[in-house]
Each structure stands twice: as C-alpha cells, then as structure tokens.
C-alpha cells in the first residue's frame, strides 16, 4: 500500500486537503514576515525622495536669496491676497511648474511641481480644489506671533539673530515678510523649511494636509506645525542650505525652541 501511494504521488496525484492547508499557512506566514519589511523599504524610499525634494527647494530658495540681497521671502501681504514664498519661486522661474487649474481659469494659483510635496503625505497632490495648490506644500517657519521671538524681554531673538522682518512696500498697504540669511547666528543649526501639516482638527479639506507655513510655539485649532512624517522624524532644511532629518528631541533643543509638532497623522503634541 505504501509503495502504491508513493507511485501515485510521483505520477501527479493531487495533494490532500491537509497538505494544501499547510502550504497556504506557510505562504501566509512568509507574507506576514515580508510585508513589514517591504513596507519599511517603501517608506525609506519615500523619505529619500523627500530629502531630494527638499534639496531642490533649498537650492531654489538660496538662489533667490543670492539674487535679492540675501533675503528669503516668507510671504507677501497684498490687498488682493497673500501669496507665499512659492509664488515668488514660480514667478522668478527658480522652479518650473505645470498649471493644474481647469481651462478658462486665470490667476497665479493652481501651479504645481511635485518637488514641493512629500510623497509620504496622506493626500497625494495635485488637489481637486486647485486654488489652494500653492498653499498645501512644504512649510516655512513663521515667527510673527511667536512670543518667544517677538515679545520684549525674551531672548530667542538673541539666539537666532534678528532674522525676521516685515516691511511696507512703498506707499501702498502691501507688505513683504522675509528672513535675512546673513543675520542668522548659527545657520547650520537653525531649520526654517521642511515637512509640515495642518492640525488634524483643522476644518476640511485641510486636515493633515501639507501647509506652506508652520509655527513652533503656541498652538490653536487647526494650527500648522512641523510634521514628524518619517519614523518620528521630519526632513528639514537649515539656513546654511543642508537637509537633515530631525527628531523631537533635536527640534526641542534647537535654537528654535520647538514646543509643538504634529505626528504622521497630523495630531499635535507638546514637546515640553
């Protein structure tokens, strides 16, 4: 009997049900072992793309600064709107772009370049609401409203240098807000640009989406902060131009005194 069964198996008799179940179980176990490794490798690849994106953005921002007396524009405040740093990079051809707003629309908003977004973001651009395409991108530090920097008697400005300015444009009501790179005391240790997002409590459609600015001090409903997107780290650009991943401890102990950040889900938590 044993000899006949062996002969039948050699000639292609089917597996028994138990044998098939064992094979399926082995495949499932192997998949459960390999999937986390594959997911981790995929995320490392996205983090590497993010670093390369930020290097491109750093190059564009510092090229702008080289052409404009060492300033990096943060925002223009105009009667017709408040275009961010990205508008100036597009307008000055420091970055190329595609127009993504529907045919027939006009205006500057709705321009798109994939290097302005982290590929790990939960929301893949371009967005359907085209008018916000230039606002849901990598963020820039904002110090207006940061009491640690602006309030009399605080010494954060002494650590950073007198770096943030707001200037009236002629006799109009327009203003320009910018950073003076040469005034940064330790440019290799002060980050000003990188991964950020709106808070998860923000109103739709902004929840957890990238934001063109971030604050490091006090928080409020829906506030944008540095986002720890990659394994509890944020890829950030420093004033000297280099890019590095920063964890919460490095951010808290930096001259910026980062007190609030968002996790990968956009949830804000204190670093105090």
Per-residue model confidence (pLDDT) at position 12: 54
The Cα–Cα gap between 251 and 248 comes to 5
The residue to which tokens 């739709």 are assigned: 204
* Ranges of the chain with pLDDT below 50: 1-8, 10
Per-residue model confidence (pLDDT) at position 1: 46
CA-to-CA dists, residue 22 to 17, 18, 120, 215, angstroms? 9, 6, 37, 55
Per-residue model confidence (pLDDT) at position 6: 46
Read off the pTM. Answer: 0.81
| DSSP-assigned letters across all residues of the chain | -HHHHHHHHHTTPPPPHHHHHHHHHHHHHHHHHHHHHHHHHHHHHHHHHHHHHHHHHHHHHHHHHHHTTTEEEEEEEBTTB--BHHHHHHHTTSS--EE-SPTT--SSTTEE-GGGS-TT-SSPSSPSSGGGTTTSSSEEE--TT-HHHHSTT--HHHHH-S-EEEEE-TTSS-EEEEEEGGG-S-TTT-EEEE-EE--TTSPTT-TT---SEE-SS---TT--EEB-TBTTEEEEEETTS-EEEEEHHHHHHSTT---EEE-TTS-EEE--
- CB-based burial label for 90 (10 Å; 0-12, 13-18, 19+): buried
The Cα–Cα gap between 229 and 225 comes to 11
Best CA proximity match to 78, nearest among 158, 173, 146: 173
User: What are the b/e assignments for 148-161, b being 16+ CB within 10 Å?
Assistant: bbeeeeeebbebbb
Per-residue model confidence (pLDDT) at position 55: 97
The Cα–Cα gap between 218 and 228 comes to 18
Q: Tokens for 244?
A: 């590095």
Per-residue model confidence (pLDDT) at position 78: 75
Per-residue model confidence (pLDDT) at position 175: 83
Per-residue model confidence (pLDDT) at position 250: 95
């Amino acid at each position: 009997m044993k000899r006949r069964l062996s002969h039948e198996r050699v000639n292609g008799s089917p597996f028994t049900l138990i044998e098939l179940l064992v094979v399926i179980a082995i495949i499932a176990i192997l998949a459960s072992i390999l999937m986390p490794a594959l997911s981790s490798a995929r995320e490392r690849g996205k983090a590497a793309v993010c670093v390369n994106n930020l290097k491109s953005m750093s190059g564009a921002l510092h090229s702008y600064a080289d052409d404009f007396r060492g300033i990096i524009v943060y925002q223009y405040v105009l009667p017709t709107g408040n275009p961010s740093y990205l508008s100036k990079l597009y307008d000055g051809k420091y970055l190329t772009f595609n127009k993504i707003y529907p045919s027939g629309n006009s205006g500057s908003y709705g321009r798109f370049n994939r290097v302005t977004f982290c590929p790990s973001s939960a929301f893949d651009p371009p967005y359907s609401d085209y008018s916000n395409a230039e606002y849901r991108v990598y963020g820039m530090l904002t110090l207006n409203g940061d009491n640690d920097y602006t309030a009399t008697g605080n010494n954060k400005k002494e650590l950073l240098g007198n770096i943030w300015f707001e200037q009236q444009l002629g006799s109009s009501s327009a203003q320009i807000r910018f950073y003076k790179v040469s005034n940064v005391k330790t440019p290799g240790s002060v980050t000003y640009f990188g991964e950020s997002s709106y808070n998860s409590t923000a109103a739709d459609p902004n929840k957890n989406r990238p934001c063109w600015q971030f604050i490091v001090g006090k928080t409020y409903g829906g506030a944008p902060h540095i986002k720890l997107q990659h394994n509890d780290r944020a890829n950030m650009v420093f004033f000297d131009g280099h890019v590095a991943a920063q964890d919460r401890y490095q951010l808290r102990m930096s001259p910026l005194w980062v007190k609030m950040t968002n996790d990968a889900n956009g949830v804000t938590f204190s670093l105090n």
